[in-house]
Structure 1
Amino acid sequence: MESALLFADWLGTPAWMWLAFLGLVAGLLAFDLGVLHRDSREIGVRESLMLSALYIALGLGFGGWVWWALGSEPGLNYLTGFVVEKTLAMDNVFVIAMIFSFFAVPRAHQHRVLFWGILGVIALRAVMIGLGAALVTNFSWVLYVFAAFLVATGVKMLLFAETERPVGENPLVRLMKRRLNVTEEHHGERFFVRRPHPVTGRPALFATPLFMALVMIEVADVIFAVDSVPAIFAITTDPFIVYTSNIFAILGLRALYFALAAMIHRFAYLKVALSVVLIFIGSKIFVADLLGIGKIPPAVSLGVTFGILAAGVAYSLWRTRPGAAPGEAAR
């Protein structure tokens, strides 16, 4: 009976594969929090790069297992989704850095915020991907809506510079300060503290700036998921491939943040490459229909996506290299 349940089909994939994935993610999170970072401390660039390499290797290794277990096409779709989602997640670093700067979150406590943030991401992405899968299954035309949205987003990113609104002007920040008891100062790694209310004098629960930073990071992920979820559904509609590639790409973001935050300026043209990738992913659905070929082969999608992003990274590093002429440096 138990073996039958393990091999039962769940969203198009055997249940045991879902359990293996969830078990691996739970183990990684437990190892990260319980072994690597039991104490609050600042994470250096070297440690950040080593942990990032580990997470990327695990993500790619999982892709190899998907290839072996499900076949070459799901394997290639997973790798394409992983590369795209990883790049989109890296773009999120710019916003996270702004949030940490506004709330003056000490580097020693940033890992705690990012760890709890990733737990929220895992749940939120599951809900959003579940809704997306239900829409695509019941209304196939939604896939074309996703594709058109990606093309429009890519063109907007390519042609129009986005002006980031200061974190302090965000309506959610103002709402939290109006509706919650909020401390002005940090209290170590605590999200809430109990202290006398300034009006009544009675003990009351106060949110710390660390909690507000966590809320803002979760909201930022929801906003980024508006691009992320359609992008992966334009690559594949398999819920297992969509969710696993999403989560493995995001898992390493926490570790990669501390290295990227120190050298964000070196990736000035990555956003341009990402906009081209979004245009490519969205347009290939329409191109495939026009050519009557069903869909672009996964190997072609992976090759083009990786090539565009690699070119964007290489060009960024060259333009911002030490000793570059002022006119060459990225603005």
Structure 2
Amino acid sequence: MNIGDFHRGRRLRRTEGLRDLVRETELRPADLIQGYFVVDSPDADFEKPIKSMPGQSQFSVERLVARVGQAMDLGLRAAIVFGLPAKKDPAGTGAYADDGIVQRAVTRLKETYPSLTVVTDVCLCEYTSHGHCGLLDAHGEVRNDPTLELLARTAVSHVRAGADIVAPSDMMDGRVAAIREALDDAGFFHIPIMSYAVKYASAFYGPFRDAADSAPAFGDRRGYQMDPANFREGLREAAADLAEGADILMVKPAMPYLDVLRALRDNFDTPIAAYQVSGEYAMLKAAIANGWLDPKRSVLEALLGIKRAGADMIITYFAEEVLPWIK
């Protein structure tokens, strides 16, 4: 081979300016959704750090409003809210109570920050005394169809409180159709559904269950969340949710399922979300704390990988931290 006959890719990598010009994937503030945990606490100043998620906390409503305001000053545009009720019961009634913790938090957030896009997680696991995502039968199995009505009631209550997007995460069959019908019947034709369409029974949820006090009291969720070994099933779940009325499809977790995320991007033209879950966050935080990874480079690389694989938006606990780097 003569000099000059081979591809010289380094020509476009030589300077920061050249690299910026040819960069294929961009991470923007508008791509990120920060997750928050709000607690039904009588103490308006309540804030409790989450040990397994360094940098994250459980907040009272007023502390949450203050924290979100600080993040919006950095450029935050969207948040997803998870609630911890004062009491739990077998039917998870706190999930769909008009004065529930998420409902109160959403109302305060939208009153204070009308431009903030508020997403709510629609599920029962944080509100049931048994920690499962639906009603149980006498044998401890989750009852799919009776649970749908409660999920639909939860979604409608969130929207009445001011939610801009509802995001069902329960993995009950038919829940998107039930929620769409309930929202339309209540006059909320304009509210989109972000479906946790492809949600795996993952080991990476551990810190979240600590943060949201949502671990099952017995058994696990493999009877309704997806088997991590399955790829094609994810496409079927996504197609089913679209047919039922989903507006945005989500893959959860993100990092171990980038192949599934790419497949959804290649097969569907709807917006795609990915959830960089608590375990992904905790792993990076632990490695950074030990000096094994550079904070900025490692976090941005992880998020860019998710975006490059096909995500239009990313739910991540790193949003607040990342915003000053990409503003």
TM-score by length of structure 2 reads 0.24
Higher strand share: 2
Greater helix share, structure number: 1
Structure number with higher relative contact order (C-alpha < 8 Å, ≥ 6 residues apart) = 1
Indicate the structure (1 or 2) with the bigger Cα radius of gyration: 1
